[in-house]
């Protein structure tokens, strides 16, 4: 039921994107398409500052229409938690693909982005428990055990953010993401850390929020004319 509702929301969101992308004024615009390489900056800083955490995220977006972009992201995350009675570690990669709609008018959107997005994420990871201690209250025994498991997770995302040039084709920007976990094959932990998703909340509806800060470089590769017709011209 959750997956069905999310699918309906995603389709509705994408339909709004498509309608926003249609200009009604009669005008000709020069549109320069390009590929933008994005490097997330917060996770490497946390990797340097925290001994038991490693995360690197990279993404690429490419203009497919004057105000519509295709975005692909991937990364590697690992995390170690050391508790008094066990050690828990997880590591793996994730991939995400989605579309972004630029809310700005075409003239402004040539260089700046203020966007909303919708995407689908997949993580493939491995986690394990080491040196777990179980006390037998009756016999007084102490048992140690280790466990390891590979798992995958799927989720949907809605995002909003902006990117703006600082020098030439060099951009800075941020993105705020809201995530909904759709499927998870994990059986080892009640609340596993998922690369690319993070730590789901404790509610029955597993959601998450993350903030990202990006350094981007844009490689322009094509220029073209986009001609928009005024609807009134077709009536006369």
pLDDT on residue 111: 80
Share of the chain above pLDDT 70, in %: 72
Maximum Cα–Cα distance for the chain, whole Å? 93
pLDDT on residue 23: 45
pLDDT on residue 18: 47
User: Mean pLDDT for the chain?
Assistant: 81
Instruction: Tell me: pLDDT of 8 over 70.
Output: no
pLDDT on residue 106: 75
pLDDT on residue 141: 59
Q: Which of 117, 127, 110 is nearest to 164 (CA)?
A: 110
Instruction: Tell me: pLDDT of 235 over 70.
Output: no
pLDDT on residue 236: 46
pLDDT band for 138, please (50, 70, 90 cuts). Answer: low
Say which range, 139-143, 174-178, 216-220, has the weakest mean pLDDT: 139-143
Q: What's the whole-number mean pLDDT along residues 67-75?
A: 95
pLDDT on residue 88: 85
Could you read off the pLDDT of 10-44 as tens digits, one per residue?
A: 455 445 444 444 444 445 555 566 899 999 999 99
Long-range contacts of 9-12 (CB under 8 A, 24+ apart): 10/118, 10/156
Find how far residue 174's CA is from the centre of its chain: 12
Q: What's the whole-number mean pLDDT along residues 222-234?
A: 51
Residues linked to residue 134 through DSSP beta bridges, in sequence order: 143
| Torsion region of 15: left, alpha or beta (phi above 0 gives left; psi -120 to 50 gives alpha) | alpha
Q: Which domains does the chain have, with CATH numbers?
A: 2-235 (2.40.160.20)
Share of the chain above pLDDT 90, in %: 52
Could you read off the pLDDT of 156-215 as tens digits, one per residue?
A: 999 999 999 999 999 999 999 999 999 999 988 888 899 999 999 887 789 999 999 999
Give the Cα separation of 85 and 134 in Å (integer). Answer: 8
Q: What's the whole-number mean pLDDT along residues 64-84?
A: 90
Q: What's the whole-number mean pLDDT along residues 122-150?
A: 76
pLDDT on residue 114: 95
pLDDT band for 101, please (50, 70, 90 cuts). Answer: very high
């Amino acid at each position: 039921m959750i997956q069905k509702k999310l699918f309906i929301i995603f389709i509705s969101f994408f339909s709004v994107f498509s309608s926003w992308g249609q200009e009604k004024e009669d005008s000709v615009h020069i549109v320069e398409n390009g590929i933008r390489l994005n490097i997330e900056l917060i996770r490497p800083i946390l990797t340097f500052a925290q001994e038991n955490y490693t995360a690197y995220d990279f993404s690429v977006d490419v203009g497919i229409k004057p105000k519509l972009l295709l975005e692909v992201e991937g990364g590697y995350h690992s995390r170690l938690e050391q508790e008094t009675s066990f050690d828990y570690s997880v590591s793996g990669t994730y991939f995400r693909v989605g579309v972004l709609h630029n809310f700005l008018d075409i003239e402004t959107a040539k260089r700046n982005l203020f966007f909303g997005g919708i995407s689908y994420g997949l993580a493939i990871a491995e986690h394990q428990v080491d040196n777990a201690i179980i006390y037998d209250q009756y016999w007084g025994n102490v048992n140690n055990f280790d466990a390891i498991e590979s798992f995958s997770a799927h989720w949907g995302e809605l995002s909003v953010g902006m990117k703006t040039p600082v020098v030439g084709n060099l951009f800075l920007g941020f993105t705020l993401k809201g995530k909904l976990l759709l499927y998870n094959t994990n059986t080892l932990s009640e609340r596993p850390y998922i690369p690319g998703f993070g730590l789901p909340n404790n509610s029955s509806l597993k959601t998450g929020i993350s903030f990202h800060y990006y350094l981007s470089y844009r490689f322009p590769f094509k220029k073209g004319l986009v001609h928009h017709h005024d609807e009134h011209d077709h009536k006369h």
